[in-house]
A and B are shown apart, each in its own frame.
Chain A
Amino acid sequence: MFERGVSATVPPVRSLEEAFPRFRARDPSTVRVLGDVRERAHAFAQQHVRPLALDIDQRAAADPRYVDWDLVKAGCEHGLLSLAIPSAAGGQGGLVQEMCVTLEELCAACPGVGNIFGAHGLGMLPLLVTGVTHWDGLLHDIAVAERQGRPVLMACAVTEPDAGTDVEEVDLMRRGKITSRAVLVAGGWRLNGTKRFISNGSLADWVTVCMPSDPKRPAETWTCFLVDAHSEGFSVGRVEHKMGQRACPAAELIFDDVFVPDERVVGRPGDGMPSTLLVLAASRPAVAAIATGIARGAYDRVLGWLEQEPTLIGRQQVQLALARMEEEIHLARQGYLDAATEVDATISPALHHPLVRAMRMVPSSTRRRPLVRRWITSPWARQTTVAVLRHTVTDRAVTRSLALSSLAKAHAADVAVSVTGLALELVGLDAGEIRAELEKLWRDAKLTQIYEGTNQLNRLTVYRGLSRQETMVALPPSRLRLVGGRQ
């Protein structure tokens, strides 16, 4: 067994300009902010995560429910759970770019641990994108709990046993077999069904889950709900034994007549599918960043190891392989940064809309008063959120952004698999702990080709959004028109 512990030394982080040359051309304040985010994540990852990575992997191999809560709590101290929560709700106001840079650093140390925070971010995304009504509720609570050292984790549950790829796209959903169902009852909804392979599923206190209210018209009635994991009827089924990313459990979630009050519908009933596209546009760059981090983690390790192997590093075969890795990682990183920048630019007009700004100016304590809260969660306020989105963002812009995100995801995932394989091959079987770490990263890498839609599905989205220049319905319809709307 390898030693557990906290590393005293942190290898230096490369300067942001060096790592992301394209940033030189960017707004200097963004570069500075991202640079800081990256350095903080790097220090946390190298100090706290990397020394534990192999040990956690082994423990979770024996017991897939194993979770290193101390590490999650340490993540709280570093603000990893509130990174993407708007500052108006008490978080750090990071956008997709900040999330991505953080994930690259975490996953360079341990992709499974990174995915705990990534899946938490995914769980929050529907609330961030269309669930403004929850900013002062749950998101605020998460940020407060985090400051108290109490992790409140989220998960996002979409995949079902009979519908994986089918729940990622409207046309497929219409042909697919979706068995979950939400039924309207007095004061709220009753949810039934099973979701599977849900990252953080067995850890989360809150789950955003999507289900149709009419199984015959799943795409039109797909609705996102915020479910308290302590609700009656909610349970965790099997937790999977899996190939890698074991630090983050993937669980089956069973909904047996779970009651969800009306105010916990995220956005409006039936808006789930278009919102999903917006969520995917934001979450796929994150997976690309995870994959880039995995590749970089392998590269860093192999470089470090080769310093002790002068006969090997002197050989051109090795030098060429290293150059190839550098090349692939560089391009994967550019891919996710491009996609993240694009999605941030796509949604930021909505965040800067006068109505949203006005709401942010009202002190949080006022917004949390029952009367004001009732107004914020009212159907009218939900309509307004959609209207603001429609006013500031176009379907075409979201489609393009989604396609760019899908491109970055599929490419980076392939890079992760090939670079980790190459790194493992370079060190061979007799490299001790480095070999075990590289084997782990290679096992971890494979998942990035599968989740957030298989690479095949991602590439079909690239075809639709970029090659064919299609415009998908990526925003919910608005019955309310704000003056000067774009659509």
Chain B
Amino acid sequence: MTTDLHDELLGVVRDLTQREVAPRSADLDAGDRDAFAHCWTAACAIGLDRVLLAEEFGGAGLGPADLLAMIEEMAAGDAGLAVAVLLHNVALAALPAEAVAAVADGERWSVTLPPLAPSLAFGISKGSAGVSGRIPFVPGALGAGGFAILDPAPGSAALFFHSTAPGLTIQPYPFQMGWRSSPAAGLVLDEVTATPVPHSVGSDSGATRLVRLGVSAVARGIAGRAWELAFEYAHSRHQGGVFIIEHGAVRSLLAGMAVQLQGVGPAAISRAWLDGDDGGAIAAKVLASDAAVGVTTDAVQVFGGAGYMCETGVEKLMRDAMYCRLYPEPNWLVSDQLVASFERRH
């Protein structure tokens, strides 16, 4: 895509984020379903629900890099919504054409990744009567129309089923401090009839890579917003007879934030995508989410006591950032896979 078109598209997403999402960010955080429905509809209206699909499926026919850039823009408004957009797009990309055609306008899907560590294994099994087992923490599972399970077992690239499928129980999580507009749930499957997707449909490890890179885009969006808010506040709050930006202590907080933001620039994301580099995607996710937690924590610090109050909206960014560190798996868990991906290369 040309840079001009890319910028124009991003401009549209930014505009939507500023107009529709940001003003509702507190409601979204409070779990207001109407606010979410409004934002989701608005996102669908500009085609954000079908970014990767070819034009014949009503899609925009854009590439993952475009999707990631859009996700980052949206996350500056609300991370939960950005995650919903991300997982929906990955789910549709994993589905076969007929299934995509059957997804109604405005319907939202979610997706689950194969667990990285054996200790987190889903424990789902395919029997003749259907799929059984439990899948933990699926963001946006509440209210989703259907689910794609990526790489469930050798033989198929994915399984998919509708949320109304007999045998499926959706178990909400009692408390969720981050991404609150995408309420997560565990899926308990008791002989659910799920449709397998053959590998040819194009959901190779690219889908899982895309989710991790997507989460790093969400983290960048959150961190960027936190930086903006803190920078602005530092120029408006007076203490010690000057704007607090004049204090070395505040400057060093802001400088530290800027450095962390620089370190997770878009290059890392697109390189990992283009090179088909799973290890790179994991690393990008770890780096970006750690940076997001660091940047948002410091942003609250720049605000002082005001930052701790929900009203200013910075503490929400901190909570959302922490979820980037924990999903699709906690950062500490990736060390084996990361090293393994380098071992494969040598």
A residues neighboring B (CB under 8 Å): 1-2, 54, 58, 159, 162-166, 172, 175-177, 196-197, 240-244, 309, 311-312, 317-318, 321, 417, 421, 424-426, 428-430, 433, 436, 439-440, 442-443, 446-447, 449-451, 454-457, 460
Question: Of all chain A residues, which has the CB nearest B293?
Answer: A421
Q: Which residues of chain A have C-beta atoms less than 8 A from B119's C-beta? A: 309, 311-312
B332 close to A425 (CB less than 8 A): yes
| Contact flag A450-B305 (CB < 8 Å), given A421-B322, A436-B174 | yes
Tell whether B156 is near chain A: CB-to-CB under 8 Å: no
What 6 A-B pairs have minimum CB-CB distances, sorted nearest first? A175-B241, A430-B136, A456-B249, A243-B315, A436-B175, A241-B310
Nearest Cβ in chain A — how far from B304, in angstroms?
5
Which residues of A lie under 8 Å from residue B99 when comparing CB positions?
none
The complex places the Cα of A1 from the Cα of B309 at a distance, in Å, of: 24
B329 at interface by CB-CB < 8 Å = yes
Q: When the two chains form their complex, are residues B136 and A54 in contact, meaning their CB atoms are under 8 A apart?
A: no
By the criterion CB–CB under 8 Å, are A443 and B184 in contact?
no
**Contacts A175-B241, A309-B119, A429-B184: A165 and B304 contacting too (C-beta < 8 A)?**
yes
Q: With the chains together, A159 CA to B173 CA distance in Å? A: 38
- Distance, CA A436 to CA B173, complexed state (A): 9
Instruction: Write out, one digit per residue, whether chain B residues 315-330 have a CB within 8 A of any chain A CB (1) or not (0).
Output: 1001100110111011
In the complex, are the beta carbons of B305 and A159 less than 8 A apart? yes
- Select one of B175, B308, B332 contacting A446, CB under 8 A: B308
**Within 8 Å of chain A (Cβ to Cβ): is B186?**
yes
Given contacts A417-B297, A428-B333, A439-B177, whether A450 and B307 have CB atoms under 8 Å apart is yes
Taking A241-B309, A425-B326, A429-B323 as given, write out 6 further A-B residue pairs in contact, using a Cβ cutoff of 8 Å, ordered by the A residue number: A162-B238, A172-B239, A176-B241, A317-B332, A425-B330, A429-B327
- Cα A460 to Cα B248 with chains together (Å): 11
**Cβ-defined partner of A311 (8 Å) among B118, B326, B332:** B118
* Chain B residues within an 8 Å CB radius of A196: 305
Q: How far is the CB of B177 from chain A (nearest CB, A)?
A: 4
Which residues on the A side are within 8 Å of B326 (C-beta)? 424-425, 428-429
Q: Which residue of A lies closest to B139 (CB)?
A: A429
B240–chain A nearest beta-carbon distance, Å = 5
Instruction: Say which residue of B173, B242, B293, B330 sits within 8 Å of A426 (CB atoms).
Output: B330
The distance from the CB of A76 to the nearest CB of chain B, in whole angstroms, is: 29
Q: Which residues of B, 107-125, contact A by the 8 Å Cβ criterion?
A: 118-120
On chain A, the residues within 8 Å of B260 by CB distance are none
CB pair B311–A446 under 8 Å, yes or no, is no
For window 286-321 of B, CB contacts with A under 8 Å fall at 293, 297, 300-301, 304-305, 307-311, 315, 318-319
Q: Mark B175-196, 1 if CB is under 8 A from A, else 0.
A: 1010000001010000000000
Q: How far is the CB of A111 from chain B (nearest CB, A)?
A: 13
Q: Provide the residues of chain A in CB contact with B18, threshold 8 Å.
A: none
Q: Which residue of B lies closest to A175 (CB)?
A: B241
Query: What CA separation (Å) do A456 and B327 show in the bound complex?
Result: 32
Q: B205: CB under 8 A from chain A?
A: no
Give 25 pairs: A residue, B residue, CB < 8 Å, sorted on A.
A1-B174, A54-B175, A165-B240, A166-B240, A175-B240, A176-B239, A241-B309, A241-B311, A242-B308, A243-B308, A311-B118, A421-B325, A424-B326, A428-B330, A429-B173, A429-B184, A429-B323, A429-B327, A430-B137, A430-B186, A439-B175, A439-B177, A450-B304, A454-B301, A456-B253
Is there contact, CB below 8 Å, between B305 and A197?
Answer: yes
Q: Does B331 contact A (CB under 8 A)?
A: yes
Residue of B293, B304, B310, B331 touching A164 (CB-CB under 8 A): B304
Q: Given known contacts A2-B174, A430-B186, A436-B175, is B239 in contact with A164 (CB within 8 Å)?
A: yes
Considering the chains assembled together, what is the distance between the CA atoms of A439 and B301 in angstroms? 19
With A430-B120, A446-B315 already in contact, the answer to whether A58 and B175 are too (CB < 8 A) is: yes
In the assembled complex, which residues on chain A have CB atoms less than 8 Å from the CB atom of B331? 425
A451 touches B305 (CB 8 A): yes
- A165-B332 in contact given A311-B118, A436-B175 (Cβ < 8 Å): no
Task: Give the complex CA separation of A433 and B67 in angstroms.
Answer: 35
Complex: how many Å from CA A425 to CA B137?
Answer: 14
